[in-house]
Homo-oligomer: A and B are copies of this chain.
Amino acid sequence: MSLRHALLGLLTGHPASGYDLLKLFETSLANVWPATQSQIYTELTKLADTGLVIVTAEGPRGRKEYTLTDAGRTELLRWLTEPKQSKPARSDMLLRVFFLGLMTPDQASGYLTALAAKAAADHDEYREIEKAIDWADGNLSIHGRLALEFGLRYASMRREWAEWSIQQIADRELRSP
């Protein structure tokens, strides 16, 4: 149940409305914890019900501004320092790799080529984000940068692995045609 903690985290410092948070999810958190509009509004209501946030202002168009409570901050810190290893994520990409042998070598290489291209595109995208961010801002962005660096390294790794895999398949084809 981490959507809850993502919301609490985004509310540290500055109060925000559901709409504000939706925009924050679309930009800063899109690659880390995607969430839909529906989910965000529902969760904010629950968060307010349990007292982890409160509505501190109402604006035009029914806008409700939420502020983190002490209980909310405590819960966020508890979650952050909780010693809990996350179980391995499902990856339909790797699941397909597992069954690559059911395709023709051409199809398999095509799949891996697409993965390499996607990894390269992701890498470029993260480079753009890196350039666009005002790194002087300091406050939240210090650790956002660590996450970005993870993305960059992960994208590179994926590209290299996909290219290596294509080579493996090609080598095997040469040996047993």
Query: Which stretch (A40-48, A52-60, A128-136, A144-152) binds chain B?
Result: A144-152
Is A23 in contact with chain B by the CB < 8 A criterion?
no
Q: Contact at A97–B143, with CB atoms within 8 Å?
A: yes
A38: Cβ under 8 A from any B Cβ: no
Q: Is the CB of A2 within 8 A of B92?
A: yes
Asked if A19 CB lies within 8 Å of chain B CBs, one says: no
A32 in contact with B147 (CB, 8 Å): no
Given A103-B80, A165-B146, does the pair A32, B157 have CB atoms closer than 8 Å?
no
Copies, count: 2
> Are B90 and A34 in contact, CB atoms less than 8 angstroms apart?
yes
- For window 12-41 of A, CB contacts with B under 8 Å fall at 12, 28-34
Would you call A142 and B9 a contact (CB within 8 A)? no
**Could you tell me the distance between the alpha carbons of A114 and B9 in the complex, rounded to whole angstroms?**
21
Q: Are A90 and B2 in contact (CB under 8 A)?
A: yes
Contact present for A102 and B12 (CB under 8 Å): yes
Q: Which of A96-149 contact B (CB under 8 A)?
A: 96-103, 107-108, 111, 114, 118, 139-140, 142-147, 149
Q: Is A93 an interface residue (CB 8 A)?
A: yes
Residue of B88, B98, B139, B154 near A101 (CB, 8 A) is B139
Cβ–Cβ contact A87 & B34, under 8 A: yes
Q: How far does the alpha carbon of A150 sit from the alpha carbon of B172 in the complex, in Å?
A: 18
- A106–B95 Cα gap in the complex (Å)? 38
Contact B98 A32 (CB under 8 A): yes
